Chain A
Amino acid sequence: MSRDLSIDVHHITRVEGHGNIVVDMKNGELRKAQLDIVEPPRFFEAMMKGRSFHEAAIITSRICGICSLGHQMTSLKATEAALGLELSEQTIKLRKLLVHGSTFQSNVLHALFLATPDFLNVGSVFPLVETHKEVVLAALRLKRLANEMGEIISGRAVHPISCVPGGFTQIPTEDKLKYLKEQLETQGLKDVAFVAEVLKSLAGEIPVFKRETEYISVYSDEEYGLYDGQICSSDSGLYPVEDYLSVTNEFVVAHSSSKHARFNRSSYMVGALARFNNSHKLLKPEARDLAASLGLVAPNFNPYMITVAQVVEVLHCVLDSIDLLDDLLTTGLKQEKPNQQPTKYGRGIATTEVPRGILFHDYTYNRQGIIEAANCIIPTGQNLANIDDDMKKLVPEILDQGKDTITKKLEMLVRAYDPCISCSVHMLDVEFVE
């Protein structure tokens, strides 16, 4: 292979939103290896100004269809922190169930429908309907079950309806929760086991690449950090959520309509692998065993293993959902109204782990309960600098493998992060410049 290389993947496929991969190497010197984010800007922070606390979560869930539940949760928690709204135990448990459902729905979608086609050398999941029908059916059933959790508890899996500041407008019936529990315990666990077996058989197809970076996620002492907790950096420890700006340090780069972020190093990683590295001890034992059997041991520095961490999380979420449903059904469901009586006004900051990583919403309310300022920091934006750094290390290492392989591995790398570009601009294409 010559010492000149130019790659230009325009609008990379099988990711959410629009991005280009651009690589430019001249005389063996890597001049450019980056992910350009070309999604049109959305300007949500500006649109939030002047809106009332009832409306914040309705608007921010529209930042992203795939992460709409996560945006809604974080938005509600930020509003509740700002207005001093206390939540019932029941509300928190129902919300945790929603977060589990949305996490495992998204993880299944990414691992099986977007990433697996690469391992099997096809361009999409559609040919697999013929060649690997049982896997596709298992993944579809898991997705359906996760979406059903959303539909039963919040009315709709995309842009949920009944979650509002202070609680729920409608409480699901016990019969429906019993149905969910039965489904999770039987078909759900069976399908996860099957999907895990399939992934195990494909382990050899996962590229080997190592780059240690900083891993940032939500951390809680009590459980695998998803619904709430502190900010955890693998480099420097725990921070209260109020310190999020000094952790994320967003900055604008010309090649991306989504802002980049950095903390202790030039970049950091968020998402399933960051969560696994920081919180693996808090996974359900069965999920820890599954990780070990899939060759995932913390700390793991291979970004291509994000997909494996996602499947491990699917098992964890299914198991923890069964426990939460058990709790709720044992206590019995109370018909409670949302608590919407503000006890204060001002600023509220919240964080949740959404499938792609740690998400922050920060609102300032005036005394009328109207938003004066809003800020959202999105996981994909936080990963962008890390993706660029990975590409800069990876390209020289695989330079002798030919342009097609390099392009494929770069696309797989970007895809492994499961980027959600609509979110991040609140993107993806590979460009080789020759």
Chain B
Amino acid sequence: MSKPKVAFFDFTSCEGCQLNKLNFENDLLDMLKLVDIVEFREAMDNRADEYDIAFIEGSISSPTCVERIHDIRRRTKILVALGQCAVSGGINAMKNDQPSEWVRETVYGEDKYLFPSLPAMPVSAVVKVDYEIRGCPMSPPEYLHVLKSLLLGRKPELKDYAVCVECKLKENECVLDKGMFCLGPVTRAGCEAICPSFGQYCTGCRGPVSDLNKDGAVNMLKAHGFSEAEAIKRMKMFNTNDLEKTISWGAK
């Protein structure tokens, strides 16, 4: 049996998720025995016509992105959104909340119309996404789990409970109790609560749990001394598209 053809593509992003994949120094060579990497522009020259699995990093944020993602979808059997930019728009979507005219002017001044730009959208806003690997950056063990499951022909199991659960299992002191801000109670697990384990708060980089109670989350943060405006602003850092229904296509 020939090895499955795997390809990686990057859209609007920092390419940190792809880089994280090159950072599996210990597993990289084993992985190469199981799959044929047929396209991976950041690391190789080859290009291919068809893929069994295409991993997509980054948001859709320009007309060219829309065309490219359609082309890739047409040629791949399975499409996986890799990392939060691809899954939800991620941090790129922060600009969706601001008037697009102002955003362009702030960065490019009078040359604001030289580079066509759309609101930052998840891949799933444009084409069908089969599986998601969340996080900014994606968590390497979760990526390996999804890849292995797909190679075995199984459906990957992805968590849909809060980071708090993993944090408690790690026996970390509660971040909120320490007086810090934290989005652990409403953010999807799968990261092994890595930020609270290193003394930081959860920034919500994996997106909200699917049954998010937004008002409840805001009330909880208010009870810990954060204003409603601050709670919402900080929830939006990685999750503007999840929390905001109207996005800016021009002057607002």
Contact = CB atoms under 8 A, between A and B. Distances in A.
A399 interface: no
A161 B32 contact: no
Given A140-B28, A254-B114, A159 B16 contact: yes
25 contacts: A14-B44, A40-B62, A41-B117, A42-B92, A46-B98, A46-B107, A47-B95, A55-B237, A62-B91, A64-B14, A65-B20, A66-B19, A113-B22, A117-B44, A124-B45, A124-B46, A125-B43, A125-B44, A129-B32, A143-B25, A155-B194, A156-B198, A158-B20, A162-B200, A423-B14
B15 to A, nearest CB: 5
Sorting the interface of chain B by its residue count into under 10, 10 to 19, 20 to 34 or 35 or more gives 35 or more
Contacts of A168: 199
Contact of B114 (A47, A147, A156, A252): A252
Interface of B: 10-20, 22-23, 25-26, 28-29, 32, 37, 40-46, 61-62, 64-65, 90-92, 94-95, 98, 102-104, 106-109, 111, 114-115, 117, 136-137, 181, 194-195, 197-200, 203, 233-234, 237
Contacts of B234: 55
Contact of A141 (B25, B62, B237): B25
B64 A38 contact: yes
A216 to B, nearest CB: 23
Interface of A: 11, 13-18, 38-43, 45-47, 49-51, 54-55, 58-59, 62-66, 68, 109, 113-114, 117, 123-126, 129, 136, 140-141, 143-144, 147, 154-159, 161-162, 164, 168-170, 252, 254, 257, 422-423, 426
B106 A62 contact: no
A431 B13 CA distance: 24
A156 B94 CA distance: 23
B90 to A, nearest CB: 8
A149 B181 CA distance: 28
Given A113-B43, A252-B108, 6 more contacts: A13-B41, A62-B136, A114-B43, A124-B45, A129-B32, A158-B137
A183 B144 CA distance: 26
A82 B19 CA distance: 32
Given A40-B62, A47-B95, A14 B45 contact: yes
B198 A155 contact: yes
**Of residues A58, A63, A168, which shows the largest number of chain B Cβ atoms within 10 Å of its Cβ?**
A58
Contacts of B20: 65, 158
Nearest to B59: A40
A147 B23 contact: yes
Contacts of A17: 10, 15
B37 A126 contact: yes
Contacts of B102: 46
A161 B137 CA distance: 11
B77 to A, nearest CB: 22
A355 B205 CA distance: 26
A5 B131 CA distance: 45
Contact of B200 (A40, A136, A169): A169
A117 B43 CA distance: 10
A169 B237 contact: no
Contact of A11 (B41, B43, B111, B233): B41
B29 to A, nearest CB: 6
Given A38-B64, A43-B106, A43-B107, A16 B28 contact: no
B109 A43 contact: no
Contact of B22 (A41, A54, A109, A156): A109
Contact of B12 (A40, A49, A159): A40
A320 B20 CA distance: 25
Contacts of A55: 234, 237
B30 to A, nearest CB: 11
Contacts of A158: 16, 19-20, 23, 137
Contact of B195 (A59, A64, A161): A161
A39 B13 CA distance: 9
Contacts of A147: 23, 25
The 8 closest A-B pairs by CB, nearest first: A65-B16, A124-B44, A169-B199, A123-B45, A155-B198, A170-B199, A144-B25, A40-B62
A136 B15 CA distance: 22
A422 B198 contact: no
A261 B92 CA distance: 25
A49 B95 CA distance: 10
B198 A63 contact: no
B99 to A, nearest CB: 10
Contacts of A109: 22
Contacts of B106: 43, 45-46, 49
B125 to A, nearest CB: 15
Contacts of A46: 95, 98, 102-103, 106-107
A223 B83 CA distance: 38
Contact of A422 (B15, B64, B194): B15
A13 B39 CA distance: 10
Given A113-B22, A254-B114, A16 B42 contact: yes
Nearest to B57: A65
Given A46-B103, A129-B32, A15 B42 contact: yes
Contacts of A124: 40, 43-46
Contacts of A64: 14-16
B200 A161 contact: yes
A46 B109 CA distance: 12
Nearest to B43: A124
B196 to A, nearest CB: 9
A140 B30 CA distance: 13
